[in-house]
Amino acid sequence: MSYRYTDAKEAFIDEVKTGEYIELEGSRRAFRQLEHSLGKSTKMVLIYGKPGTGKTLLLHRLYEKKRGEVEIHLLDIPSGTRREFYRKLFRIFTGKDLPPKTKVDFETFVAFARRIKGKREIVVLLDEAQMYPKEMLEEIRVLSDTGSIKFIITLHKTEDEDLVAKQHFQSRIWETIELRDATPLELNAYIHKRLLQHGHNELASLFRDRQIKLIHRWTGGNFRECNKLLYTLFEIYEYYDQHDPQKIDYNKISIKYLEMAAIKIGFIHV
């Protein structure tokens, strides 16, 4: 049988793979809104939602789709220092590396951004904005006011990060896109499509309403939590497939194994 559950397990590794993008109604709507915002004079666009709702993947998807059409740059890893951020911005502006001992002068960056207004339209995709210091968020706001750079940023939706957004961006953000957890119907489509992408048509067909309802109840429809649960489920199946296959009913997804997976990662407490 070649241990089919090993590959099924790997289908739910939680990592950004734009080639395995799962298009659902919510993500399709958000992507259309993002595409529309690129053609508007919007200075900033905020994508927000709880961790695990697909913000980073949506940003990567936009970059992959639009980088041949507009001047778009993806800063997917938050800069550890102010200098690192401006080193990246310098390369975006000039196509060159910032000389090693050059002092970062914010006003020089602002002046340059003003000079290129009307000549270049730069889109900067900024992931995990809540990781940046408040001083840098304020400078990003000022840069957006020059009108030459459009920032599209992602931000976790928590009380603290909402406060950051209000303090630094509220008056500048002209468009907001909220990503929500999946409905049971969307979660069902997500699980099936992930398995189909990896060639597991038979396994995909074994997930029925009862299993989907349980998965949704335990994960709340959060994609990251769903990935954890399904990875653990197929890890359990992988073990029995290799060591005690008579305990597996290959014609259904066992509620017992689902519960074992939920207990293992703490969704159920016994």
pLDDT of residue 82: 87
What per-residue confidence (pLDDT) applies to 168? 54
Is the pLDDT at 203 greater than 90? The verdict is yes
Weakest mean pLDDT among 166-175, 219-228, 240-249:
166-175
> What SS3 class is residue 199?
coil
Q: 42 in helix, strand or coil? A: coil
Q: Give residue 155's pLDDT.
A: 86
CB atoms within 10 A of CB 133: 12
Supply the pLDDT for residue 1: 41
What is this structure's pTM? 0.86
Describe the crossing of helices 82-94 and 106-115 by its angle, rounded to 10 degrees. 30
Answer yes or no: is pLDDT of 173 > 80: no
Antiparallel, parallel or unpaired: β 173-178 and 122-126: unpaired
Per-residue pLDDT band at 3 (split at 50, 70, 90)? low
pLDDT digits (tens, 9 = 90+) for 111-150: 999 999 989 989 999 998 888 888 888 898 899 889 899 9
* Model confidence at 167: pLDDT above 70: no
Residue 148: φ, ψ to 5°: -100, -15
pLDDT recorded at residue 170: 56
Residue 220, pLDDT above cutoff 90 = yes
Buried/exposed code over 30-49 (b: 16+ C-beta within 10 A; e: otherwise) = bbeebeebbeeebbbbbbbb
pLDDT exceeds 70 at position 174 = no
Q: Which residue has the higher pLDDT, 76 or 18?
A: 76
Give the mean model confidence (pLDDT) for residues 7-35: 85
Q: Where are the beta strands (DSSP E) in the chain?
A: 44-49, 71-75, 122-126, 149-156, 173-178
State how far the alpha carbon of 239 is from the alpha carbons of 39, 156, 211, in Å: 51, 36, 20
pLDDT of residue 43: 76
- Looking at every residue in the chain, the average pLDDT score rounds to 88
pLDDT at 2 over 50: no
